[in-house]
Amino acid sequence: MARLTLPAQELMYRGHAACPGCGPALAMRLLLKGLGPRTVLSIPACCWTVIATPFPTTALGVAVLDNPIESTGASISGLRAAADALHLPDVTVVGFAGDGGTADIGLQALSGMLERRTDAIFVMYDNEGYMNTGVQRSGATPQGAWTTTTPVEGTRRGKREPKKEIMAIVLAHRPAYAATVNPAFPEDFVRKVETARDVRGPRFLHALAPCPPGWRFSSEETIDLGRLATETGLFPLYEVEEGVYRITRRAGTLKPVAEYVHRQGRFRHWTEEEVEELQAATRAGWERLLRREQETAPSLPPPTPPIGGTPAPA
């Protein structure tokens, strides 16, 4: 007999307005499974403004407040303050923003919310660009990717700069909990949402959200690409609680990034050398994460200082 590994509850309705194969839609569905009905969501201008469908309908089975693109962090601080002031019981306050509304224009409000230690969850769904406005580059767009504002024409070969590291920025604020999640790994996703739900203080989830029209791949490949993003080490799954890193999915050997790159039109112009550069950078990033996990592991005994110093050579 099959065993349900995810909560059966659906708080995202059918009839939403997402594109076929939409990563952000999957991220929202899994998020709400883990959060439950007493969630208040604050959503800035992003794909989800549209996916949730226009007035007077809604595709979400929870209370939703819209806010301008840059102020999600402040909005969830206000919702938390009001829920506390009014003694509303068991309210989970969540901001759900795209990568632009989090890491670019929304960065100040996010930093403010983390610094003032708002008891709320901020979720960045990362489709690596301004997709709702027609695929423009954001700070979270990967280096070398084509977008409509980083064309591949003449001497220009897509985005010149590397992807902004939002987890590093968030972790510099010492949040109560931060994790990466990927809808291609739903059990890991929901478990982390449930963990985040039960931790008090500022919490952050970085959700990979593949975008078929923006990344230029076929809509039935969303899960495959999501899996590859993690299995190549490009988007490792880990969580950080009280400063302790824990990798939650560990592959024996990383798959070549070429498998991920060659399936997306936004990297179609890449040469073998460019793939190799990404391969080297990805390997280095993965090793850095492994070291971080070892360094912060609580089970390790503290290094023993040598007694009496290093003996002098004879």
Partner 1 sequence: MTREVLSGNAAQAYAVRLARAQVVSAYPITPQTTIVEQLSRFVADGTLDARFVEVESEHSALQVVVSASALGARSYTATSSQGLLLMHELLHWAAGLRAPIVMGVVNRAVAPPWNIGADHTDTISQRDTGWVQLYPESSQEVLDTVLQAFRLAELAEVRLPAMVNEDAFYLSHTVEPVDVPPAELVDRFLPPREGHAILRPGVVARLGSFTGPDHYVEFRHELARATDEVLRRLPEVEEEFRRLTGRTHGGALATYRTDDADAVLVTMGTMSTTARTVVDELRAAGRKVGLAKLRLFRPLPEEELRRLAGSVDRLGVVDRAFTFGASGPVAGEVRAALYAAPQRPRVDSFLAGIGGRDVTPGHVHRMFEELLGPDGAETVWEDLAPTEVGVHG
CA 235 to CA 247: how far, in whole Å?
Answer: 11
Question: Which residue number, 38 or 156, has a Cβ lying nearer to partner 1?
Answer: 38
Tell me how far, at minimum, the Cβ of 104 lies from partner 1, in Å: 15
Tell me how far, at minimum, the Cβ of 3 lies from partner 1, in Å: 29
Tell me how far, at minimum, the Cβ of 75 lies from partner 1, in Å: 4
Question: 134-168 b/e with 16+ CB inside 10 Å = b?
Answer: ebbbbbbbbbbbbbeebebeeeebbbeeebbebbe
- Positions in the binding site for partner 1 (CB under 8 A): 37-40, 42, 49-50, 52, 54-56, 58, 60-68, 70-71, 73-79, 81-86, 88, 90-91, 108-109, 111-112, 115-116
Q: Does residue 88 come out as left (phi exceeding 0), alpha (psi in the -120 to 50 range) or beta?
A: beta
∠ CA 268-181-49, rounded to 5°: 75
Tell me how far, at minimum, the Cβ of 28 lies from partner 1, in Å: 13
Question: Which residue number, 13 or 286, has a Cβ lying nearer to partner 1?
Answer: 13
Question: Which residue number, 116 or 262, has a Cβ lying nearer to partner 1?
Answer: 116
Tell me how far, at minimum, the Cβ of 67 lies from partner 1, in Å: 6
Tell me how far, at minimum, the Cβ of 41 lies from partner 1, in Å: 9
Question: Which residue number, 96 or 217, has a Cβ lying nearer to partner 1?
Answer: 96
Tell me how far, at minimum, the Cβ of 74 lies from partner 1, in Å: 4
CA 2 to CA 273: how far, in whole Å?
Answer: 46
CA 102 to CA 138: how far, in whole Å?
Answer: 10
Question: Which residue number, 106 or 214, has a Cβ lying nearer to partner 1?
Answer: 106
Tell me how far, at minimum, the Cβ of 216 lies from partner 1, in Å: 27
Question: Which residue number, 86 or 168, has a Cβ lying nearer to partner 1?
Answer: 86
Question: Which residue number, 113 or 275, has a Cβ lying nearer to partner 1?
Answer: 113
Q: Is the bond into 54 cis (omega within 30 degrees of 0)?
A: no
Question: Which residue number, 113 or 145, has a Cβ lying nearer to partner 1?
Answer: 113
